[in-house]
């Protein structure tokens, strides 16, 4: 009987190889490290007195350094016990609690079709590689050189170029005898009832092949060469071969980097294709990336299969912090003894490509060495969104922390987190009591360890707090600096609803619009869906079609709430009845305010960090200067808050719109 690769992978993943081998050998207590899944024993295949037989759960492999035997679960059973391969599979399946598959003629047919589709994807990959070396690919080659990629790196990752022609790939595959049904099934052309003649899915883009865990091309990512392209990066659509949330870019290479003596000891998740490729060229071969979306549970599980503590590497700006905090929520329910994640935060405004381009891997290795544990990220997130100068506020923080860690399923891990929270709260509350309300949590800009208070909220020495001298209660509550709000700031609502009601702006301002980072979580989710809908639109996206798609994805209530907020504020230019030129002007003014607000927030955080460092150094003059600078930031925030109120003036500016809506002039 032939078993699918998916079934064999499933039972191997469910049963540690040490459980199969451990029934036949006695593990050496001195050399074995059970928490790491690292086992040693005397080899069962040849006689020996000292243990040279090595077994690793994370790799699912065994190897004897004495006689050289090596293999996986099934090889061990067939070689040692003389079982046939189906018998070995049946035994492991029984240990895994997975029923043996019944013969399925249709499944076998699908497997054959899947193999054929993989062959088509290989043809497409070769076509794109060849096109990169032609005159049509000159701009793409120049771009890759500007990004510092060597010819060897380009060849290693099989980078290519999709020509600008609408039918270049389709015609090439047809000339090779590939039927249109297979081309469509691979997601290589756009087709459907509303498209009379299919055309290439990727055009005028640098192509990044996406590989399966078995090193077969299953999809592509494409980076647009045109500045006015609707989407800078675009992935293949979902197909029989490709399910985006279950795949990590560079997974198979990263897995190989963990194997063998001197290999990497963890997996590093970074943001995008180019980050992974630049790191590989700098010698960091254990990096992977999600495919243009937030990290999914399945992708995190893939990393956990390779290493007990993967590293998640995020940008140090607000968007990176929010992505890190989303990953916190993703990981918490699944923690086990020895199984967790760590968070490496890059310097603000830098990505891995920037760090390694000039000085090699050393700056990136430094960022990794200062990575924070998950428990600290939980604390930073929950303690950094308010002031705790009253018993009621401190009780609120304590309740929130308890609620967050209650999702941890493993009882032992949850108990230790509860103890960690108690320790942090005790130290933090002691600091607030001594500081009379001036002490406040926050994301410490320090990259080293736990920051100025060892991560437990203690008060900095010298009688100063990082924020007490310069930031008012109004700033702490301001939408400009508050991390998560129940209702979006007015400028965020204007930005979002203007685009929803006037999607033609996406045609002209897509790259700028795609880069907007929202503080409000509901808007973050809405924006992701909106950009996906825009990128996937085969023709011009109308307001009605866009709203229908967003409502299908569960954003109807958010859109209704935004509309109500905008109408209550009488900001008619963000509504659907606004003239296009007024909507564009409203968007630009709101976006300008939004960018300035983000800049102020970064400036405030940097000043807080410098105050803490000056406090530790007991540099009184420097502290005074910095607190003065904090006061200036506060004054600028006040001006921003007043300027944000002037957004109401949009309604006056667009009086003709309001009049059209009400039947009156303004």
At 434-480, the pLDDT tens digits run: 554 444 444 443 333 333 344 434 333 333 333 333 333 433 333 33
Half-sphere exposure (CA, 13 Å, Cβ side) for 176?
Answer: 16
- pLDDT band for position 517 (50/70/90)? confident
pLDDT more than 90, % of the chain? 39
Tokens of 257: 């980097």
Task: Supply the pLDDT for residue 399.
Answer: 92
Tell me, rounded to whole angstroms, the distance of Cα 354 from its chain centroid.
18
Residue 134 pLDDT exceeds 90: yes
Residue 416 pLDDT exceeds 80: yes
Backbone angles phi, psi at 299, to 5 degrees: -70, -40
Task: Supply the pLDDT for residue 456.
Answer: 39
Q: What's the average model confidence in pLDDT over 124-152?
A: 95
Match 């865990």 to its residue by tokens. Answer: 213
> Lowest-confidence range among 253-267, 346-360, 454-468, 479-493?
454-468
- pLDDT band for position 546 (50/70/90)? confident
Task: Supply the pLDDT for residue 445.
Answer: 39
CATH of 5-96, one of 3.30.70.20, 3.30.70.660, 3.30.70.1520, 3.90.580.10: 3.90.580.10
Closest CA to 520 of 564, 489, 498, 558: 489
Give the C-alpha separation, 287 to 271, whole Å.
10
CATH of 251-370, one of 3.40.1360.10, 3.40.50.10490, 3.30.499.10, 3.20.20.70: 3.40.1360.10
Name, of 62-76, 130-144, 420-434, the range with top average pLDDT: 130-144
E-only strand ranges, 228-341: 233-235, 268-269, 287-288, 311-314
> Lowest-confidence range among 232-246, 264-278, 508-522?
508-522
Task: Supply the pLDDT for residue 378.
Answer: 94
Higher-confidence residue of 378 and 104: namely: 378
Which segments of the chain belong to CATH 3.40.1360.10?
251-370
Q: What's the average model confidence in pLDDT over 43-49?
A: 84
Q: How far apart are the first and last CA of the chain?
A: 79
Which segments of the chain belong to CATH 3.90.580.10?
5-96
DSSP state, 234?
E
DSSP state, 31?
T
Task: Supply the pLDDT for residue 154.
Answer: 96
Residue 249 pLDDT exceeds 60: yes
Give the C-alpha separation, 401 to 597, whole Å.
28
At 186-200, the pLDDT tens digits run: 999 999 888 999 999
- Name the pairing type of β-strands 195-200 and 189-192: antiparallel
- pLDDT band for position 312 (50/70/90)? very high
Name, of 132-141, 210-219, 505-514, 648-657, the range with top average pLDDT: 132-141
Task: Supply the pLDDT for residue 109.
Answer: 62
Task: Supply the pLDDT for residue 351.
Answer: 82
Architecture field, domain 105-242: Alpha-Beta Complex (3.90)
Residue 569 pLDDT exceeds 90: no
> Lowest-confidence range among 252-256, 394-398, 513-517?
513-517
Q: Are 239 and 186 in contact (CB under 8 A)?
A: yes
DSSP state, 35?
G
Task: Supply the pLDDT for residue 259.
Answer: 63
Closest CA to 205 of 231, 183, 237: 231
> Lowest-confidence range among 72-76, 214-218, 224-228, 353-357?
353-357
Write the CB contacts of 599 (distance below 8 Å, at least 6 apart in sequence).
none
pTM for this predicted structure: 0.56
> Lowest-confidence range among 166-175, 252-261, 605-614, 652-661?
652-661
Give the C-alpha separation, 303 to 254, whole Å.
10
Task: Supply the pLDDT for residue 474.
Answer: 36
Helix (H) or strand (E) holding 524: helix 521-536
Chain mean pLDDT for the chain: 81
Task: Supply the pLDDT for residue 653.
Answer: 36
Higher-confidence residue of 156 and 474: namely: 156
Largest separation between any pair of C-alpha atoms in the chain: 98
- Name the pairing type of β-strands 70-71 and 61-64: antiparallel
Name, of 103-117, 470-484, 519-533, the range with top average pLDDT: 519-533
Higher-confidence residue of 135 and 542: namely: 135
Task: Supply the pLDDT for residue 487.
Answer: 67
Residue 285 pLDDT exceeds 70: yes
Give the C-alpha separation, 425 to 210, whole Å.
45
Report how far apart, in Å, the C-alpha atoms of 499 and of each of 161, 488, 550, 647 are: 32, 15, 13, 16
- Name the pairing type of β-strands 233-235 and 195-200: unpaired
Tokens of 602: 């970064």
> Lowest-confidence range among 355-369, 381-395, 479-493, 574-588?
479-493
Tokens of 624: 């005074």
């Amino acid at each position: 009987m032939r078993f699918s690769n998916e079934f064999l992978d499933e039972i191997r993943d469910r049963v540690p190889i040490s459980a199969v081998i451990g029934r036949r050998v006695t593990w050496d207590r001195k050399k074995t490290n059970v928490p790491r899944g690292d086992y040693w024993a005397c080899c069962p295949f040849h006689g020996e007195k000292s243990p040279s037989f090595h077994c690793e759960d994370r790799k699912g492999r065994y190897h004897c350094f004495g006689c050289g035997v090596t293999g996986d679960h099934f090889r061990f059973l067939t070689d040692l016990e003389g079982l046939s391969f189906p018998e070995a599979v049946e035994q492991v399946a029984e240990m895994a609690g997975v029923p043996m598959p019944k013969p399925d003629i249709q499944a076998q047919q699908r497997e054959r079709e899947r193999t054929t589709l993989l062959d088509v994807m290989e043809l497409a990959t070769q076509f794109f590689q060849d096109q990169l070396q032609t005159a049509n690919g000159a701009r793409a080659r120049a771009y890759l050189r500007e990004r510092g990629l060597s010819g060897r790196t380009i060849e290693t990752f099989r980078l290519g170029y999709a020509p600008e022609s609408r039918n270049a790939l389709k015609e090439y595959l047809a000339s090779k005898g590939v039927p249109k049904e297979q081309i469509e099934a691979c997601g290589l052309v756009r087709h459907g009832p509303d498209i009379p003649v299919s055309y290439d899915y990727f055009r005028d883009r640098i192509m990044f092949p996406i590989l399966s865990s078995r090193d077969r091309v299953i999809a592509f990512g494409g980076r647009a060469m045109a500045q006015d392209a609707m989407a800078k990066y675009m992935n293949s659509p979902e197909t029989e071969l490709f399910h985006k949330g279950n795949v990590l870019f560079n997974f198979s290479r990263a897995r190989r980097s963990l194997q063998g003596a001197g290999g990497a000891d963890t997996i590093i998740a970074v943001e995008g294709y180019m980050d992974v490729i630049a790191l590989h060229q700098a010698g960091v071969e254990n990096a992977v990336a999600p495919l243009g979306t937030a990290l999914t549970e399945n992708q995190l599980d893939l990393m956990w299969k390779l290493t007990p503590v993967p590293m998640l590497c995020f940008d140090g700006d607000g968007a990176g912090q929010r992505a890190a905090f989303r990953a916190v929520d993703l990981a918490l329910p699944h923690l086990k003894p020895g199984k967790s994640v760590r968070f490496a935060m890059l310097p603000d405004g830098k990505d891995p490509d920037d760090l390694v381009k000039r000085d090699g891997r050393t700056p990136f290795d430094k960022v990794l060495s200062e990575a924070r544990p998950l428990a600290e990220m939980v604390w930073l997130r929950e303690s950094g969104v308010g002031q705790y100068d009253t018993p009621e506020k401190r009780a609120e923080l304590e309740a929130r922390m308890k609620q967050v860690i209650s999702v941890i399923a493993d009882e032992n891990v949850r108990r230790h987190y509860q103890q960690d929270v108690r320790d942090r709260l005790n130290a933090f509350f002691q600091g607030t009591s001594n500081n009379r309300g001036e002490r406040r949590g926050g994301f410490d800009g320090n990259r080293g360890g736990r920051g100025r208070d060892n991560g437990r909220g203690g008060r900095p020495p010298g009688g100063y707090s990082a924020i007490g001298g310069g930031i008012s209660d109004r700033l702490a509550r301001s939408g400009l600096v508050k991390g998560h709000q129940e209702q979006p700031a007015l400028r965020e609502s204007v930005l979002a609803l203007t685009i929803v009601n006037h999607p033609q702006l996406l045609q002209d301002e897509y790259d700028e619009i795609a880069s907007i980072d929202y503080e409000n979580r509901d808007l973050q989710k809405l924006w992701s869906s909106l950009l996906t809908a825009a990128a996937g639109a085969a023709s011009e996206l109308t307001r009605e079609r866009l709203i229908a798609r967003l409502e299908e994805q569960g954003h109807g209530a958010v859109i209704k709430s935004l509309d109500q907020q905008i109408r209550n504020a009488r900001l008619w230019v963000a509504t659907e009845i606004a003239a296009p030129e007024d909507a564009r002007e409203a968007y630009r003014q709101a976006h300008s305010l939004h960018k300035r607000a983000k800049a102020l927030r970064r400036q405030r955080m940097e000043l807080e960090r410098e105050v803490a460092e000056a406090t530790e150094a007991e540099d009184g003059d420097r502290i005074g200067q910095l607190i003065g600078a904090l006061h200036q930031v506060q004054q600028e925030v006040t001006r921003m808050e007043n300027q944000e109120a002037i957004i109401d003036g949009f309604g006056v500016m667009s009086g003709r719109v309001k009049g059209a809506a009400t039947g009156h002039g303004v």
